[in-house]
Structure 1
């Protein structure tokens, strides 16, 4: 079996920080750029069977089953990766092709990601995002889906170009957060959901780095320097334009 490689698209600053600190960024699900992402309304809790009610009204049962999925969305932190390094749209999102894309050897990363970073690490085995044309709303009481993974890995078809693969942490330990919850800044208390988690992985996990077509020369030098310091064997590529097709190509920097 070949090496499993996944890619992290970042702007220049994000790429430099990731290479400098040898870590992965996890973001709370409520802070992602898709308002449907991980939303509990992806699942239908309304068809409560009589046998599930007992002496309780169906509305109480419905709410009791929905509540954990609301908490999931607030307590899960996600690291979004991609199967591809040459998506024109993804490069455009990150500083108009001025950013970076970092290739990770996931087989090597698993030994770090399987450690306990929160209450539980859901996935050191990668979970692929499933893209749907419509909100299917599986019936919580009658379907046999893994509803937890369905909630956290189902997105609209409009995002399919990202070819996303996700890693999850539930309630990450403060050790891995860049700021602690309730710590004050000049504007007052920080919302704990806005805090990012940064578990560290080994330099050997960093397989490659790709430089955006429009990245400034001085920024390229800093990225290359950080990459070579982190892992001397890391491959460094310059992204370029394929003049015969609407696609990007790569050139290895010796």
Structure 2
């Protein structure tokens, strides 16, 4: 991410939470009688829900966070031996909304909302495409609330217009790869990388490598090492550069 100064977008169907962006978050079952003059209710339900099933396949997500010191996130994602990278989103915005190779490339930003239960909105009694789309793509279980996630969304990105790659494990026997297995890496400016937090368990040789890249990336980047707060169950950032 720092060496190529980019962000990673993965398809919504490939996220680790199986509930993520799931079309069943919306209730399509209460079809009004007046809509059943030509087709039966089950067919209308299938037709209306189809676009939301496809929405999940058409959407790529970059997951960011509003916090840098969550104990759970440091533990789950890196065993305290990784890094947390701070992005200046105001500066990144101009790179994430532009024309590339004659094609408009733009991202949408959504703040994730966390729910105790699946409280499905009734599709047929409050028709609002934007609200339903946002609800599907930004609703998660309360258990994830510590992440304070903000999502960047790409819809229908084109291979060849944005840097992309796929893992070898995604290849089928005939050598082909499903579109959903492609990951996209739009490049942003080096000045967008404003902060770096080193985990408390980062090894010395790894730290030296990371710092070398960080200095090259943005000499004005503020670099911190996370330490254990002796007076609370918290991480305490200490400025080292």
TM-score for both structures, normalised by structure 2:
0.91
1:211 alignment partner, one of 173, 178, 198 = 198
Deviations 1:96-141 (A, max 9, x none): 0111100011110110111257876351xx3110000000010001
Range that drifts further, 25-34 or 171-180: 171-180
Matched residues in 1 for 2:11 and 2:172: separation? 22
Partner of 2:114: 131
Deviation at 1:231, TM superposition (A): 0.8
Cα 1:177–1:53 shift into 2, 3 Å: farther
Cα 1:83–1:226 shift into 2, 3 Å: same
Partner of 1:173: 158
The list of structure 1 runs, each at least 4 consecutive aligned residues, that deviate by more than 4 angstroms after superposition, is 116-120, 184-187
Query: 1:72 and 2:55 equivalent?
Result: yes
- Structure 1 unaligned regions, length at least 5: 1-17
Partner of 1:156: 141
Matched residues in 2 for 1:160 and 1:97: separation? 20
Give 1:1-254 correspondences, 5 Å limit.
18-115=1-98, 121-123=106-108, 126-144=109-127, 146-175=131-160, 176-179=162-165, 188-254=175-241
Partner of 1:9: none
Deviation at 1:253, TM superposition (A): 1.2
- Structure 2 unaligned regions, length at least 5: none
SS in 2 for 1:33: coil
TM-score for both structures, normalised by structure 1:
0.86
Matched residues in 2 for 1:65 and 1:40: separation? 11
Count how many residue pairs are aligned between Structure 1 and Structure 2. 235
Aligned CA-pair RMSD: 2.2
Matched residues in 2 for 1:134 and 1:119: separation? 37
SS in 2 for 1:174: coil
SS in 2 for 1:228: helix
Deviations 1:40-69 (A, max 9, x none): 000000111122233111111111110011
CA contact (8 A) 2:197 2:224 kept: yes
Matched residues in 2 for 1:209 and 1:94: separation? 16
Matched residues in 1 for 2:25 and 2:104: separation? 24
Cα 1:28–1:230 shift into 2, 3 Å: same
Deviation at 1:189, TM superposition (A): 2.7
